[in-house]
Amino acid sequence: MEDKWALEEHLSTAENNKLWDSAGEAARNGEGYMDYVETHLLDVQDRLQIMDATGIERAIVSLTAPGIQSITETTLAVQVARETNDLVRRKYVDQHPDRFSFFACLPTQDGQQAAAELRRAVRDLGAVGALINGYTNVGDASSGRYLDDDSYEPLWAAVADLGVPVYLHPREPLPAQQAIYAGYESLTGSAWGFAHETATHAIRLMLSGLFDRHPGVQIILGHLAEGLPFLLPRLEHRLAKQKDGAGLGVARRKVSEYFSDNFYATTSGHFHTRTLFNTLAELGVDRVLFSADYPYETMEEAASWFDNSLLCANDARKIGRDNARRLFSGIA
């Protein structure tokens, strides 16, 4: 397939690199691997050449995790988010408008400021939505504010008003929640901890009443929806029996209904055909989107797997491009 669209494709900036715990990442993930990642997060031309070679027509790029969400000072977060969105527009979209679009990064340290930056990024810069890296550190690195917090109502109102999706991207669990990984710290990130952290965050959104207040809001989850296609039926079964339990009296609908109506899944970093088919069975072919997760994964592996995944031609077209074109209908 020669005209795929990819949605979870990461980049970095010199300013973001100053905030990045590169030594910690290298210790957890391997020095050689992280050297490759850090080099390619800053590169444009190699990215384009690989896109050409793997049949990826357009990439929607976004600031790598933990990004703005890890900045503990609100004023700095607002400044860095604004500067980053301006830079990405100039460096990627302006230079290669037929190949790149971008998700805005947002200063979620403050709900009003995040809403304002989303409106600016979409209306003035042409951002096609936002990517948020999980919880937000507020005050210090040990604190975490999740997106179901009441302070984010202005942001969700802006998302609904603009009609753009939010990509909920993983980050590592808070330090206080990492005891289970002691001695196996490599599990805290993409190998395992990302999925558990982000799936739970998504469930919080489902149970919070967000999608009752704003039924049109659309959330994108990577990695074939972080295990939710397999685990959500069990969750729903248990919640029905625990219906009077703490935190369960707000949402008006079943979690499976929110999942079907308000969530998309991408194939980013999860190149396994049986899992893809399970996701299709639970979510439907119209809500699954191709992605690679570059440069943490290679476009070559993502594209080779997808192009040989035994999908029928019609489903491959939908997942590879058509669903994305519909979701991001504002892209020329």
Q: What is the pLDDT of residues 239-295, one digit of tens each?
A: 999 988 998 989 999 999 999 999 999 999 999 999 999 999 999 999 999 999 999
Cβ neighbors of 176 (< 8 A, separation 6 or more) are 142
Distances in whole angstroms, Cα of residue 150 to Cα of each of 119, 130, 147, 157: 19, 19, 8, 12
- Count CA atoms closer than 13 A to 137's CA, side-chain side: 21
- The pLDDT tens digits for 302-331 are 999 999 999 999 999 999 999 999 999 876
Arithmetic mean of pLDDT, 51-59: 98
Encode pLDDT of 57-82 as tens digits. Answer: 999 999 999 999 999 999 999 999 99
- Residues designated as active site: 293
What distance in Å separates the CA atoms of residue 20 and residue 64, rounded to the nearest whole number?
Answer: 10
- Residue 332's Cβ-side half-sphere holds a number of Cα atoms within 13 Å equal to 6
Asked if residues 87 and 42 have their Cβ atoms less than 8 Å apart, the reply is no
pLDDT greater than 80 at residue 149: yes
In degrees to the nearest 10, what's the CA dihedral of 277, 283, 286, 290? Answer: -60
Instruction: Please give the model's pTM, rounded to 2 decimal places.
Output: 0.95
Question: Residue 64 has what DSSP assignment?
Answer: P
Q: What is the dihedral of CA 123, 10, 159, 70, to 10 degrees?
A: -110
Q: b/e per residue, 260-287, with b = 16+ CB within 10 A?
A: eebbbbbbbbbbeeebbeebbebbebeb
CA–CA dist 133, 150 (Å, integer)? 18
Q: How far is CA 25 from the centre of its chain?
A: 19
Q: Where are the domains of the chain?
A: 4-327
pLDDT of amino acid 27: 57
d(C-alpha 58, C-alpha 314), whole Å:
20
User: Phi and psi of 193, rounded to 5°?
Assistant: -60, -35
Return d(Cα 285, Cα 314) in angstroms, integer. Answer: 10
Mean pLDDT for the stretch of residues 82-90: 98
Instruction: Calculate the alpha carbon distances from 245 to 57, 98, 258 in Å.
Output: 48, 50, 19
Q: Tokens 């397939």 appear where?
A: 1
Question: Residues 191-245: pLDDT tens digits?
Answer: 999 999 999 999 999 999 999 999 999 999 999 999 999 999 999 999 999 988 9
Q: What is the Cα–Cα distance from 214 to 158, expressed in whole angstroms?
A: 10
Q: How far apart are CA 60 and CA 225, in angstroms?
A: 18
Strand order in the sheet with 4-11: 4-11, 56-63, 100-102
The fold of the 4-327 domain, in CATH, is: TIM Barrel (3.20.20)
How far apart are the C-alpha atoms of 100 and 10, rounded to whole Å? 12
